[in-house]
Amino acid sequence: MKEKLFSGMIPVTRPYFNETEEQILIETIRSGWVAQGPRVKLFEQAIADYVSAPFAIAANSCTSALQISLEVLGVGPGDEVIVPSFTFVASANAVVHRGAKPVFADIDPATYNMNPAGLEALITERTKAIMPVDQVGLPADLDPILKIAKKRNLRVVEDAACALGSEYKGRRIGGISELTCFSFHPRKLITTGEGGIITTDSEELAKAARIIVSHGASVSDLSRHQSAKIVFEEYPVFGYNFRMSDLQAAVGLAQMQKLDEILEKKRFFAERYNQVFSSMEELEPPSEPEGIRGNYQSYLLRILPKAKKSRDEVMNILLEKGIATRRGVMAIHLEPAYRNRFGEIHLPETERAFKETIVLPLYPQMTVAEQDYVIESLKDAITF
């Protein structure tokens, strides 16, 4: 057993902050403009440029971004949206808050993403949209999903909460689907504390989303303040206060400078995990299908039944050793709110993954010594 040579808990993840974020926050505060303003606009452009999307609309969370996206597509009461159950509850919550019904799809056990092979059987006359999720940063198999959507006249909202920097067949996620939503929660590659963004190639959808995100106002505060004339806004639709602040966007701009470095460091540590775990019959490390490159937002490991300890037992052992972990991903259809409203359903691959997967520590500031301690502790936990 490798000795722990450092103090404190090894976290699942850790935001990658330094004086860059501190300085830009000081500058933003001193500017006097801390609500939605010029830095939000700059951050939107930075994301749009990075993913090669014509338009980006910032929001206060990815959940808000998903809800706005569904609204601009006209999803509402009586409609159905196909969404995987093996994802964070926010994906389905956005559907429910539109008054629509989430129809849960099972996953491909190799990728943990929506299995396109089962989609056609879930489509009904009420189906309005499909919501693929890029689980833990690995892009869903988008080509067949988009092909089915086009064939059946359905809309697509891609939940890419975890997938900034990931690539699908040579293209960055964010410039492929009709609407793509990212998260900047602290567990994501870059963070604004809380925050989200929508990317799209549709000027019409972008304009509608931008209005909804700010109370339904026809003109933004920034546009009014920058105008040489008095401008009065109108409120043609019922909107929300889903705006991102300039304080958040300032942090995002600093974080974008580090994105390539974060991607490189995460992949380095993920590949070290893969090298060890791929030779162990008790474990199944994550895989990347040909043409798909994830960002390793989280390191999702499957503990197979042949291990001497269950996933939950392993988590408890690691916690006692000062190593934080998380259950892999939730199964939304098993949660009380969804079972009570929509009844019992059975998704075998989702339920198996829900019981067997674990998220291990992975973050840019991680040291080789910390990772080696995690690896040796895990090996001890599953073999003794």
Give the active site residues. Answer: 188
Q: Which two tokens stand for residue 219?
A: 């003109």
Residue 374 near residue 2, CB atoms below 8 Å: no
Helix (H, G, I), strand (E, B) or coil at 21: helix
Q: Which candidate, 195, 198, 205, 201, places its Cα nearest to that of 181?
A: 198
Question: Taking Cα atoms as reference points, which of 350, 87, 56, 293 lies closest to residue 195?
Answer: 56
Tokens of 289: 């299908």
- Rounded to whole angstroms, how far apart are CA atoms 262 and 295? 9
What tokens appear for 257 in the block?
Answer: 């400078």
Q: Where are the beta strands (DSSP E) in 132-232?
A: 155-159, 167-168, 171-172, 179-183, 196-200
Rounded to 5 degrees, φ, ψ at 155 are -95, 160
139, 292, 271, 318: CA torsion to nearest 10: 20
* 181 beta partners: 159, 198
CB 225 within 8 A of CB 15: no
Q: Please, what's the b/e burial string for 262-298 (b: 16 or more CB within 10 A of its CB; e: otherwise)? A: bbebbbebbebbbebbeeeebbbbbeeeeebbbbbbb
Pairwise CA distance, residues 248 & 31, whole Å: 14
DSSP code for 195:
-
- The contacts of residue 230 (CB under 8 Å, 6+ apart) are none
User: In 3-state terms, what secondary structure has residue 375?
Assistant: helix
